[in-house]
Chains A and B, each alone.
Chain A
Amino acid sequence: MRLLLRNGRVLDPASGVDDTLDVLIEDGRIARLEAKIPARGAEVADLAGLVVCPGFLDMHVHLREPGQEWKETIATGTRAAAAGGFTGVACMPNTVPVNDSRSVTESILRTAARDAVVAVYPVGCVSKGQAGEELAEMADMFEAGARAFSDDGQPVASGLLLRKALEYSRLFDVPILDHCEDSGLVAGGVVHEGDVSTRMGLRGWPGVAEDVVVQRDVLLAEYTAGRLHVAHLSTGRSADIVRRAKKAGIRVTCEATPHHLALTDEAVSGFDTNAKMNPPLRPESDRRALLKALQDGTVDAIATDHAPHHADEKNVEFSRAPFGIVGLETAVSVCLDRLVHGGTIGLPRLVELFTSGPARILGLAKGTLAPGADADVTVLDPNRRVTVDPARFRSKSANTPFAGWSLRGAPVMTLVAGRIVHDGR
């Protein structure tokens, strides 16, 4: 099986390639990357005017299976991923049951082998039962295929447990992904604490409740020499803490979500539960600080925190609605439009944030189009105009604050191991 991608702009930041080239795929791998490769019987896709990138990775996704299949399944979530330009997703362990053991990790991977159209990288729990008390069997889960550990959905509240996790995970050199939130300081908050919460009478979730935990985590990462990854960074102060930690040589990485980069807490005006997420949308000053952190390299990856919820679950009073929004099918367009066309970062940096950035954090041999690499490919049309229509999502859920947005730039084709899993050219 040979496939020749012709005439595209090949953009592979990991190997420093940015040129109009042909890409020859053979047996699921990148065989050659040259100008004018003769077809010689290969199937040809003409990608003139499009950008050929390594497969995009989303390192923070809730696939909801097992246990909450009315929200999403591995089948629908990975189809949403493929349509959104992603060739691999890391799925969070707060399923039902939680992924805190080899058997659950294996069950997720078995289901993925049967149903998934993109690669699925399970994230195991830090603690048994995600209860925040005792370490889960990380080695077992790692051997089964877990590539990171997290109690996501919950922070690792205990400093002692986080210390142990950072130490123990050094056995396999995988990161601990922390959802940084001091629940005591959040105190039931549902939106950012500031002008908007004050105006709307909603309980505030102050930025400092994230910052104090990011700072604690960084100190523990330094002390233990473990690998820390800060999930969905939402404040300027947290970005400062990570920036300083990196300068000091502490092993810390972080991700930001498209929604924290594109929206502010003003989006909850009108009590739109599709603008309710955790961490909450922050004010413009934090958003700008995150953009700066994208530019200066503080942020390592863009991840969606894809959190599907059924419409009935969101169609309630604001404070009662669950946190979270879907992101797989809007992330790339939102980022192309707001970040690249908006002038924050160039396309090569964006591609890095979606490819080699997350690949490095998860220790995956992905995120490059170098010959010999797996032929996971994302093709972008940076100028295509799209309108976000939740009715057309492949995801089972449609809880997005971006409905109706007109955006410039879109993923148009997705290949996993040389196989076309989405073609919207």
Chain B
Amino acid sequence: MKLRSPHLLGIEFLEPEEITAILDAAETFAEISTREIKKVPTLRGKTVVNFFVEPSTRTRSSFELAEKRLSADSLNFSTSTSSLVKGETLLDTARNLEAMAPDFIVIRHSEPGAPHFLARHCRSSVINAGDGAHEHPTQALLDAFTMRRRGRRFPGLRVAIVGDILHSRVARSNVLLLTRMGADVTVCGPPTLLPRGIERLGCRATHRMEEAIEGADVVMMLRVQLERMRAGFFPTLREYARLFGLDGARLRLAAPDALVMHPGPINRGVEIMGDVADGAASVILEQVTNGVAVRMAVLYLLAGGAERETAA
């Protein structure tokens, strides 16, 4: 199976068969990460630039590890948005990176559409590692992979996504992916943090957490940021936690074997209580582990997958 596009810009452009192919490939790569020698020569001689224009530790580390386990040469190029504003444009920076002939550019950027912009101007394969509030496709893929590894099947799967939906690329990519695979998704948050028309992406929306969680097979909590309180989206973190925090009592409304997920980093005591984060239902750290395998699968398939291997 080969992906249709040389880039991974968002879930928006993936067909269900492509999603399945990525998840299938990730199974193989997950196995590699359990070996004593956690390295395969799949991308030997390939260069990957991790171009992070917005701070991120876990996504960058996850990509870096995926690249290393595939034997690619990786270069971390981090810069702050402010230095780009002062000096070079994104396009000029990208052209400079491209002059070093990388095969992949993994980009994290605070502006929606930045990876799409890069893809229009670069020959390299562009992977979106999060663009503003738009998409974070590898996160949605690793979330789906985590559900699938835990034996969940997507058709009819009831998933509640709770928190700051408005500013969340994780929510958008997950809604797109899960609904495309047949899941039944409900997003939940205070009315100030639910974007208008979110239902048109194929999910349901509610302001009542109990309603969202009741009978859910998966409860995905999103990180809420203090700066949103300062911008007036909710009065205090305390009140937010009271209305939208996941505690044991609320979790009991979900299906008995429900999974608790969170893209991290978690705010203990705000959107998720510590005992729930550490509890039996939580697969938060599995998500992190699976992230490496899914990113290996994405790199492998974008590089041409099995086709390339047979040619080599």
Contact = CB atoms under 8 A, between A and B. Distances in A.
B21 to A, nearest CB: 24
Contacts of B114: 317
Among A195, A198, A204, A270, residue most surrounded by chain B Cβ atoms (within 10 Å): A198
Interface in B163-188: 169, 172
Given A315-B91, A316-B90, A317-B117, A198 B111 contact: no
Contacts of B112: 200-202, 271, 318-319
Nearest to B89: A316
A201 B89 contact: no
A197 B113 CA distance: 12
A193 B133 CA distance: 14
Contact size range, B: 20 to 34
B116 interface: yes
A244 interface: no
B135 interface: yes
Contacts of B169: 201
Contacts of B109: 317
B65 to A, nearest CB: 27
B172 A201 contact: yes
A194 B196 contact: yes
B134 interface: yes
Contacts of B200: 195, 198-199
Interface in B60-102: 85, 89-91
Contacts of A200: 112-113, 134
Interface string A302-317: 0000000000100111
A200 B132 CA distance: 9
A271 B113 contact: yes
A316 to B, nearest CB: 6
A271 B116 contact: yes
B90 A198 contact: no
A320 B196 contact: no
B201 A271 contact: no
B131 interface: yes
Interface in A227-285: 270-271
A194 B197 contact: yes
Interface string A200-213: 11101000000000
Given A201-B135, A312-B89, A318 B196 contact: no
A53 to B, nearest CB: 41
Nearest to B165: A198
B197 A318 contact: no
Nearest to A193: B196
B169 to A, nearest CB: 6
A315 B89 contact: yes
Nearest to B114: A317
Interface in B132-176: 132-135, 169, 172
Contacts of A195: 196-197, 200
A201 B85 CA distance: 21
B130 to A, nearest CB: 10
A197 B132 contact: no
Given A270-B116, A318-B113, A198 B134 contact: no
Contact of A317 (B12, B113, B196): B113
Nearest to B118: A317
A201 to B, nearest CB: 3
Nearest to B172: A201
B131 A198 contact: no
A51 B127 CA distance: 54
A239 B117 CA distance: 35
Contacts of A201: 112, 131-135, 169, 172
A145 to B, nearest CB: 39
A316 B85 CA distance: 11
Contacts of B201: 198-199
Contacts of B111: 317-320
A271 B90 CA distance: 15
A316 B195 CA distance: 25
Contacts of A316: 89-91, 117
A319 B111 CA distance: 7
B198 interface: yes
Interface in A332-383: none
Among A200, A312, A315, residue most surrounded by chain B Cβ atoms (within 10 Å): A200
Contacts of B113: 200, 202, 271, 317-318
A181 B200 CA distance: 27
A204 B195 CA distance: 9
Contacts of B12: 199
A319 B197 CA distance: 21
A199 B135 CA distance: 9
A316 B121 CA distance: 11
Among A195, A199, A201, residue most surrounded by chain B Cβ atoms (within 10 Å): A201
Contacts of A315: 89, 91
5 contacts: A202-B112, A202-B113, A204-B196, A316-B117, A317-B90
Shortest Cβ-Cβ A-B pairs, 6 listed:
A201-B134, A271-B113, A201-B133, A317-B111, A198-B195, A195-B197
Given A194-B196, A199-B172, A201-B112, 9 more contacts: A195-B197, A200-B134, A204-B196, A270-B116, A271-B117, A317-B90, A317-B113, A318-B111, A319-B112
